[in-house]
Amino acid sequence: MAAKQRDGLRLFGLPPQACERVAALWPGPLAGVGPDDRKTSGPCAAALVWQGDDAEVAAFLGAHPECRWLHTTAVGVPQAVLRHADATGLTVTNGAGTRGSAVAEHVLALLLAHFKGLPQTLAAQRERDWKVPVAAELRGRRTGVLGLGDIGRRTARLLDAFGARVTGCRRSAGGSPGSGFPVPGVSAVYGRERIEEFLTGLDVLVVAVPLTEETAGLIGSAELALLRPGAVLVNVGRGPVVDEVALVSALRTGRLAGAALDVFAAEPLPASSPLWSEPGVLITPHSADATAETDQRCLELLLDNLTRFGAGRPLRNVVDPARGY
């Protein structure tokens, strides 16, 4: 898989410091390194996506069938890219393992804000009102983590450290619940075929699955009805995994006491969305992983894979097009 000296490399949204590091490793021409350099007519062996419009990336692949490798710093891979990879044999690698620490901390921050009444406390502070909020403890809560990739596993460990009772659900359980599946902090793991059993009676549901054909709309009104009345939902996976209409209905009927959302079906979240003003909802702008440490891990993985590709060595984080991750 070694790249030829003449082959180009297409860059999508790489920050300047990353472009400099890439240029030092890549012997061929670079494209997409400036605001006016959006296309390349020459052959491209590979593409690196830091931030890029899905349609633009798909269009590039369609115009460059010679491209043999695409790396994205995201964990989820667009369906158009997966279909192209499945049809052409394009190797796709992703950023799995770079974002888990940041996102897990974000999940805990949102949950603690909810249970400790921080939004109400901050509102009272703005009014100079000495008002004690209604608070509760995370300890002992039945908490389910949907998706046990890097983000889900790290989130589970933090929840366990706070004394929550953690179960998990993934595509395949790898064994029956309680069988000792090696996920630290998780007492039982369910396969997706047992998702109803997994959801029943949860106080907290953390959604951390990527968006695939299987997970789109996975959490709807029927699934939310299985949670314990007054439960809290956190979504740091992808917006379309949760039916937002069903979510708003569950909040308004009291089935859910709150929701903490970092991802949405449409981003940026439209001003017309009822989620902005729904009581009990905490909104962050798809920023759970927005840390300098995450950027550094993304860059290190990208550069390592670039070195491996140039030398014809096996790449890290190769995505299975059929699974989507």
| Strand ranges, E, within the chain | 8-12, 30-31, 44-49, 69-72, 91-93, 142-146, 165-170, 188-191, 204-207, 231-235, 256-261, 281-283
Question: Which residue numbers are catalytic?
Answer: 238, 267, 286
CB contact at 8 A, 20 and 43: no
Going by DSSP bridges, is the β-strand pair 69-72/204-207 parallel, antiparallel, or unpaired? unpaired
What count of other Cβ atoms lies within 10 Å of the Cβ of residue 73?
A: 26
B/e letters for 248-259, b = 16+ CB within 10 Å, e = fewer, are bebbeeebbbbb
C-alpha span between 186 and 170 (Å, rounded): 12
41: tokens are 């007519």
Radius of gyration in angstroms for the set of CA atoms belonging to the chain, rounded to a whole number = 21
| Strand ranges, E, within 73-183 | 91-93, 142-146, 165-170
SS3 assignment, position 250: helix
C-alpha span between 104 and 106 (Å, rounded): 5
C-alpha span between 269 and 278 (Å, rounded): 14
C-alpha span between 191 and 156 (Å, rounded): 16
In total, the chain counts a number of residues equal to: 325
